[in-house]
Amino acid sequence: MTSQASSPSDEARLETISAVLPAGTTIHAWLKASHGGAPARLTAHVDGGLAGAVETSNPDEFAFRPLTLERGGEAAFSYNPATTQVSVLYAFLEPRVLEEGIRLLHARPANATPEVPGSYHFRPPFGWMNDPNGFGRFGGKLHLFYQHYPHSLRWNNMHWGHAVSKDYLRWTHLPIFLFPSDELAARADGRGGAFSGSAIALPGDEAGLRIFFTEHMKDREPEEQVQFTATSRDLVNVEPASLILPARPTGLGLTTDFRDPYVFSGPDGKWKMLLGTRDREGGVILLYETDDPAAAAGWTFLGTLHRENRFGMTAAECPCMLPLDGPANDPATRWALIFGLLTSRDPATGRRNMTLATVGRFDGRGFSVEFEQELDFGTDAYAFQAFVDEGGPVGIAWLANWTDISKEIDMPTAMTLPRRLALQSDALITPPVSGVESLRRRQLDAKALLDGRTVDLANGSVEILLTLRQAGNAFRLDLEHPEATVAVQLNDDGLSIPFSVANTKASPRYIAAGARPSTIRIFLDAGSIEVFADDGRWTGTKRLPGFKGVSAVRLTAPEGNIIAAEIWQLGL
């Protein structure tokens, strides 16, 4: 997918990016001018003939400039590095982009994602990524949008990135879908942008989708955060957005937090919208609805759907809600309400920014809670978003936690493995999608680990399966990692991921207290560990530092506790 050739030119010390491209290719370029200098300019030649040029005078942020090549052939994109910085350059054929994706021609060291051969988790082709957005099936394909800043590996003004898949696992990168407002796009000051949201299919026989998102602008009065909607007829290009909710509800004592619209069809067939906020007591989830079958307008506030006060003044964010065990219009169907709690802290373990899953009955206006559980005891499956696909509910999350974020270091991250959602014995289970078995390349071991020997894991992209003789049988799996001490452990306290990094403050305890599973399925990849116990009855996700995988593993357990242990090499 990536092609890049960059070298100094003999003419005016130009830098040149070269690629063979067909006629009709669309180029997306981002360039920035040097401070106090001439305008930035990128010139395109095809087979030696001038094919176009783009420029900007903005020295504060990379400006987006599209270009279409009418002729095909050997394309050369030239610029003078003394006056021009080029952040991203990619090419695509619009009629075939949903199938073929983009071809990345250039990214700078500052925004190039790390090379992680053999990795099987979703990562952006360049730049920063956080929350999944608009996760759903549209036009027969799975679409994943995500919070994105293209020009560095740190958070800044938000865009929406975009990718499609046929199987949840193998993704094709598409052009950037949604941009910050013109005012924000001109400045690299982290003041806001197109924050998180969701997507629904256009009604009837129409092709395309409708998105909902929060526009955030720091220090804007009276509202920093307002809600917009926009449509895409071709699933690639978005039309101009319309403001649908210009203000928070009054009289509730809410903070300026008012974000992350999640739109879904309710039991009464009307479109519902959840929004996250907070007051002085805790996190609050608001419920809206509209009678408009297109969900384009007419949104009215119904009231507070749910609140969580146990952790103090935490912001509920990235809410999603979906039917679990039946059709939406069946009163017997139970629904899952899932949301993150920004700044929450569990006093027993020190874990931060937890995600809660609340299950109960929803009649379109009120939610009657039956039980609540944590979605992930590792806490690094944040901003979880789900929808009901053809085979049932499926969700995905950002494989990170805001406690890891630093203004001093870059932190490229991944998405979790997509996960199914189902009810089992009055618990919400979240196992990986069934297609993950297609990632298996060969079996690495079925005996040495069980015998207590250390097993080499090559690049560390593996699946480990443990079968216990009895539920709750104790064991410890120690993982050799270049930057962290990490293990998976089951004892009388429960199932945990012991984790620490040298010369840093004490790590939280990542534990599912009291868990007594009988099967453990562990997915290791460069930068992450995901643990699924008893088919996802207990799920723990932890981001690991760096992008070198776990190199070896050793199992310790009382004799007879483990009756089977397998290791599979994984890869796309």
Q: What angle do CA 562, 567, 572 make, to 5 degrees?
A: 150
Per-residue confidence (pLDDT) for residue 12, from 0 to 100: 58
- Nearest residue to 356 (alpha-carbon basis) of 285, 280, 259, 304: 285
d(C-alpha 97, C-alpha 434), whole Å: 27
Residue 553 DSSP symbol: E
* Averaged confidence pLDDT in the chain: 95
CB atoms within 10 A of CB 380: 27
Residue 332, classified by CB atoms within 10 Å of its CB into exposed (0-12), middle (13-18) or buried (19+), is: exposed
Q: What is the DSSP string of 391-404?
A: TEEEEEEEE--GGG
Residue 95 DSSP symbol: G
- Nearest residue to 365 (alpha-carbon basis) of 301, 299, 322: 301
Per-residue confidence (pLDDT) for residue 11, from 0 to 100: 55
Q: Are 432 and 536 in contact (CB under 8 A)?
A: yes
Q: What is the DSSP string of 180-212?
A: --HHHHT--S--EEEEEEEEEEPSTT--SEEEE
437-463 b/e (C-beta count within 10 Å ≥ 16 → b): eebeeeebbeebbbeeeebebebbbbb
Q: Mind listing the pLDDT tens digit of every residue in the chain (572 residues)?
A: 334 444 444 455 899 999 999 999 999 999 999 977 789 999 999 999 999 999 999 999 999 999 999 999 999 999 999 999 999 999 999 999 999 999 999 999 999 998 888 899 999 999 999 999 999 999 999 999 999 999 999 999 999 999 999 999 999 999 999 999 999 999 999 999 999 999 999 998 788 999 999 999 999 999 999 999 999 999 999 999 999 999 999 999 999 999 999 999 999 999 999 999 999 999 999 999 999 999 999 999 999 999 999 998 999 999 999 999 999 999 999 999 999 999 999 999 999 999 999 999 999 999 999 999 999 999 999 999 999 999 999 999 999 999 887 767 777 789 999 999 999 999 999 999 999 999 999 999 999 999 999 999 989 999 999 999 999 999 999 999 999 999 999 999 999 999 999 888 889 999 999 999 999 999 999 999 999 999 999 999 999 998 899 999 999 999 999 999 999 999 99
pLDDT tens readout for residues 303-337: 999 999 999 899 999 999 999 999 999 999 999 99
d(C-alpha 433, C-alpha 439), whole Å: 12
CA distances (Å), origin 526, targets 167, 195, 367: 21, 28, 40
Per-residue confidence (pLDDT) for residue 498, from 0 to 100: 97
d(C-alpha 521, C-alpha 434), whole Å: 13
Per-residue confidence (pLDDT) for residue 5, from 0 to 100: 47
pLDDT tens readout for residues 12-61: 589 999 999 999 999 999 999 997 778 999 999 999 999 999 999 999 99
Strand partners, 53: 43
